Structure 1
Amino acid sequence: MGRFIRDHWARWKRVASWAAAIILGLGFITVTGLVTGLVIDPGAGEAAPGAAGGNLEAVRTVLTAMVGAGGLVTLAVVIRRQWSQERAHELAVRIADDHRAEADRRHRLELDNAARAEHDATERRITDLYMAAAEQLGHEKASVRLAALYALDRLGRNHEGHRREVVDIWCAYLRQPFTPPMRCTDDCAPVASTAMTDSTVDAYLTSTPNPDSTPGKEESREQEYQVRATAQHLLARHLKDPRPAQDRGDALPPVVADGYWRVDRIDLTGATLIDTDFTGCHLPQPDFTRAHFHGNAAFDNAHFHGNAAFDNAHFHRDTAFDNAHFHGNGSFIGSRFHETAWFSGTHFHETAWLRDTYFRETAMFNDTNFHQNAWFHRSHFRQTAVFNDAHFHKSVWFRNTHFQEDAGFIGADFHGDAGFIGAHFHGYAGFGDMALEEGVEFLCGGAMAVMELPAGRRHSWPPDWVLTPDPDKPGWGRLQLSRTSSPQRRGFRAHESTVPSTPPD
């Protein structure tokens, strides 16, 4: 419609231009004739012979003026023609530009449609692969389940935007119920998963085949173990820091398609894991609540970003968190360490929750840094508890904690209050060579310890505290403030009667 109006307007302007030129020409001729008639004297030939010459001169003058006027008209027509040509050229240029713009718009639209179609096709293909792999993970054959794990790995390597879904489905698989092989545990009873169902992932998985329902159940367990070991390996590989040890730090490593993947969570709630190795990994918002770790569990030099939850987890073999960094809260509430637990050189940058924790064998916290409050109340150390050279930058509480064997705090630094109210020391207690910041309170009211130690060993208590026999419990003594103690001795206050507010349970 717009183009029709423009063309109609251009034709009308051309007709109007020619009409104006004709009218101007006719007007010029008319005016010239009138002027000539006025200038020439009709009676000049009869009056005098010289009058005819005057009329001739007048005619010549009029003709000259007509020629000049004609030249002006011609010039005006030429100028008008030039202007019209320029306008026509400009119009042609604008029309050509409009055509090019329209062509470009259509081309971009075609490219956008093609890209959108390709993206939709890619997404459909990815969804099909994702669904197929999820279904294959419930297949009765271990080889099919293994192929599904590697298919998901390839999918994540090729499509960065889907790596979180890949990690989620690996974690969902590890959360499925599983009975470990007999070589991995002395308890052959099935380990039921206590994880909550994740409707976005778990719904795509069929239940892991029950090895007890088919002959050769131990062989089935071994095959399922291989599948789970592969899932754990793939997960750890994409969480491990690929940088050389000297270049590593608290910052996240660079993303690499076949190496480190940056995801926002690791949900292994209630998972059954065997021979776990997350050494040097960066784990975001990890949740291992109620997880069972069969075989050794290694988290050495790992970085836990966000809160790390190991509440009510069971570590059935040796567990190592040496030199690990908990950048958020580290929670082990109600956890069970059935063999040696290593936390040497570990950094808890936020609150460390280890209340109601059970350590069946040696617990090593030597040179551990607690940058915020640490809670150990009601925990049980069945064997040696080593906190030598540990650094407590804030308050630490061992309220009602039981130390069944030796408890060592030799060389530890206390920069905040330390509470051992109601603690029981069944073996040697060593608090020698401690460094106490000025104003720190040591609270040991109600703490008890055995009076006699084998081989002539002797307890070493915090300054101003002494062990006196308890008349109600033979062989045991109760920690009390020394009568000769000074409230400011060695730069700290020691008030047996001062009881802080009960820590939150």
Structure 2
Amino acid sequence: MIGVMPTWVLWLAVALVLVVIVARHRRRARAEVLLDEHARRRTQRETPSPVSVWREANRLFRAGDREGLLLLAEIGRELPARRQDVVDTWLAALRGGVSRGLDARWRTAVQSELVAHLRPGADYWPGMDVRAAGAILVEVDLSGCRVGRVDFTGAVFVGDARFEAMTVTGAAVFDGARFLRHGLFTDTLFARSLSMAAAVFTGNLALSGVQVADAAQLSGAKVSGRADLRRAEFGGPAGFESVFFGGRALFGEVVFHRDALFTGAWFRGRTDVTSALIGETADFAGARFGRRVMR
């Protein structure tokens, strides 16, 4: 006859069962944590980091892949802090386009994407600087764009270079630039200073209707074609020292709020200064005139 199980044995059995259940529960919970961690790491690997996206976009872009061009534009839209980097990357691609044999269609696509973000509109990126010192640019057209600082020091412009009705809120520098055809700046607003010292214009220079809020410096520049500055307005001193005007020089209705310095300038063609206004000093010491001057 089986006797009654002692109470302590019963409690011991219950305790053992509870220990087994708790151990299994802990193992299951740990396994679930490991699975979750594995899934998280796998997801991180599958979702590229911002750095890897930037590198991939640059790799595709340098290879001439339109996907890289569009991916860079998307990065700029999503990350405003990277917009200047994107603009610099596009300008770097346009730099040296002739010597590197940059395909005309690809160059046009890059330039169109650049202008789309520099010209006020639905996809406009405000405050972008245009850094293109030493660049070789073909048929560049930034007309109507609104940018910050502009630096084209030593740049070479192949074909017409258009900057018409452009707004530059920072300093604009074209020192030593070479325009192999026409330089068109009609109705452009320079909210600060403009410098075109020693710039060379093989064709015409159109500065009609231009407004320069601060100093304008064109000393040593050479204009082989017509120089049209009619209705231009200079808020600061304007320096035209030793400028060579090979064709007609049109200064009709120009307003110089401060000094207008033409020391040593050479006006080879006909010169027209009809209704020009000079607020302070007008200096023509040593200037030469090849043909008659209309006053």
The TM-score, its normalising length taken from structure 1, stands at: 0.48
Q: 1:370 aligns with which of 234, 237, 242?
A: 234
Partner of 1:235: 114
- Matching residue's letter, 1:359: V
Superposition pairs of residues 90-489 of structure 1, within 5 angstroms? 125-139=49-63, 142=64, 144=65, 146-175=66-95, 177-179=96-98, 190=99, 210=100, 221=101, 224-242=103-121, 256=122, 259-430=123-294, 432=295
Give the 3-state SS of the residue equivalent to 2:51 in structure 1.
helix
Runs of 4+ in 1 over 4 A off after TM superposition: 120-124
Aligned residues: 253
Structure 1: segments with no counterpart, 5+ residues: 1-116, 180-189, 191-209, 211-220, 243-255, 433-505
Give the whole-Å Cα distance in 2 for the aligned partners of 1:302 and 1:402: 29
Higher relative contact order structure (alpha carbons within 8 Å, sequence separation ≥ 6)? 2
Q: Describe the superposition over 1:119-140 as per-residue Cα deviations: whole angstroms up to 9, x where unpaired.
A: x99995322121122223332x
2:97, 2:138 within 8 Å by CA — same for their partners in 1? no
Quick one: which amino acid aligns to residue 75 of structure 2?
Answer: L
Measure how far apart 1:346 and its partner are.
Answer: 0.5
Query: What's the offset of the Cα at 1:301?
Result: 1.1
Q: 2:17 — aligned with what? A: none
- What is the distance in 2 between the residues matched to 1:134 and 1:263? 23
Q: Secondary structure at the match of 2:103?
A: helix
Q: Hey, what's the Cα distance between the residues in 2 that align with 1:123 and 1:364?
A: 56
Q: Which amino acid aligns with 1:169?
A: T
More helix by share: 1
Q: Distance in 2 between matches of 1:122 and 1:413?
A: 67
Amino acid at match of 1:371: G
Letter paired with 1:384? R
Q: 1:121 to 1:402 in 2, by over 3 A?
A: farther
Highest CA radius of gyration, 1 or 2? 1
Report the Cα distance in structure 1 between the residues aligned to 2:70 and 2:256, rounded to whole angstroms: 45
**Do the aligned residues in 2 keep the contact of 1:229 with 1:274 (CA within 8 Å)?**
no
**Counterpart in the other structure of 2:35:** none
Q: What TM-score, normalized by structure 2, do the two folds share?
A: 0.80
What is the percentage of aligned positions where both structures have the same residue? Answer: 26
Aligned-residue offset at 1:239? 0.9
3-state DSSP of counterpart to 1:389: coil
Q: Distance in 1 between matches of 2:202 and 2:154?
A: 14
Q: 1:25 maps to which residue?
A: none
What secondary structure sits across from 1:270 in the alignment?
A: coil
SS at match of 1:277: coil
Shift of 1:264: 4.2
Deviation per CA, 1:214-253: give whole Å up to 9, x if none: xxxxxxx4x62222222221111111123xxxxxxxxxxx
SS of aligned partner of 1:394:
coil
